[in-house]
Structure 1
């Protein structure tokens, strides 16, 4: 995209269409991460076209529908986790786009293990998006693991400065128990 204002309406419309397309793709990427964090496999499923391929860097390779089916079983019992997506590059080519982004995941492994720990992981995701019937979605995803760091679980909430009584905190949860799915806005 140019760094100067377009000098005609057709160029402006082309650049606006590109911005709208990139925003739609960005929202798919972020919704996927929300789905993983909240245990909402429907959000993950919506990120893919029906015939999409998922290559999860050595942990899964096959139809995205099969990957989503696995996530429907795993996510409700998965540990608390947070996905942060950064360095998003979207290269448009008509009704196709190549994206690259980094996803940092923090997960708390404190149930069902003798030695609870926190895990910080960085992965890079390369997606081929396609626009079909006006909808952008992933047609093929490839993931590369970059690094992982594990540390003993030690949660003090700023040594009590953030929350002297952590039991009083409203905590993130899986669907339907997370505040995102609550209709109570009072």
Structure 2
């Protein structure tokens, strides 16, 4: 074999190794994004009371544990919507720190969450911080939650009465709705899209 042929062979092997590494990295990044999308869509579904969006985050045999309440994944949405409606006027689930370990078609994710629930009086708020500990599985090419266990790390009450102040109300801010009328569902969103609710 000539020196030129050896160089060409080495270059080809290097290229193959680089392509395999690139494929592995792209697959990993795609999986990570799909997993985070699943966790985020679940949070959005909770805030909009979107049963379809919440349910789609779980496998059919998935399980959700929120303290003593353990629900099959497909039934969790109804339980969550009733619990949220009974205690608050509106709420926001904020996913913050998110880590994930992937091994084949199984992943273990830890997602920190800050939940703010505006009380039914419109003047007080409950703030809860905790974590979602999830085992997700890829089945038929789609990542969904197989097991979710929720922790509570801290909880406190806050004064939200500023929301009732005339100066704030004159600001003309839209407020979210717990249904598909929410502005986030508008397609295409434009500056003239009607706002379903204001403060």
What TM-score, normalized to structure 2?
0.78
- Indicate the RMSD between aligned Cα atoms, in angstroms: 2.5
Which runs of structure 2 are paired with 1:10-89 in the superposition (5 Å)?
A: 10-58=20-68, 60-71=69-80, 73-74=82-83, 78-89=88-99
Structure 2: any 5+ residue segments left out of the alignment?
A: 1-15, 193-199
Q: Which structure has the larger Rg?
A: 2
1:149 maps to which of 128, 144, 156: 156
User: Shift in Å at residue 71 of structure 1?
Assistant: 3.4
Contact preservation (8 Å) 1:37, 1:82: yes
Contact preservation (8 Å) 2:46, 2:77: no
How many pairs were matched up?
Answer: 174
Structure 1: any 5+ residue segments left out of the alignment?
A: 1-5
Question: Residue deviations 1:21-44, cap 9 Å, x none?
Answer: 000000011111111111112111
Which runs of structure 2 are paired with 1:113-128 in the superposition (5 Å)?
A: 116-128=123-135
User: Shift in Å at residue 154 of structure 1?
Assistant: 1.8
Contact preservation (8 Å) 1:76, 1:174: no
Richer in helix (by share): 2
Which aligned runs of 4 or more in structure 1 are off by greater than 6 angstroms?
none
User: Shift in Å at residue 173 of structure 1?
Assistant: 1.3
User: Shift in Å at residue 7 of structure 1?
Assistant: 5.7
Instruction: Determine the C-alpha separation between the residues in 2 that align with 1:132 and 1:150.
Output: 41
Q: Which residue of 2 aligns with 1:136?
A: 143
2:181 maps to which of 163, 177, 186: 177
What TM-score, normalized to structure 1?
0.83
**Compared with structure 1, are the counterparts of its residues 157 and 49 closer, same or farther at alpha carbon in structure 2 (3 Å cutoff)?**
same
**Compared with structure 1, are the counterparts of its residues 86 and 11 closer, same or farther at alpha carbon in structure 2 (3 Å cutoff)?**
same
DSSP 3-state at the match of 2:161: coil
Instruction: Determine the C-alpha separation between the residues in 2 that align with 1:157 and 1:14.
Output: 53
Which stretch shifts more, 174-183 or 18-27? 174-183
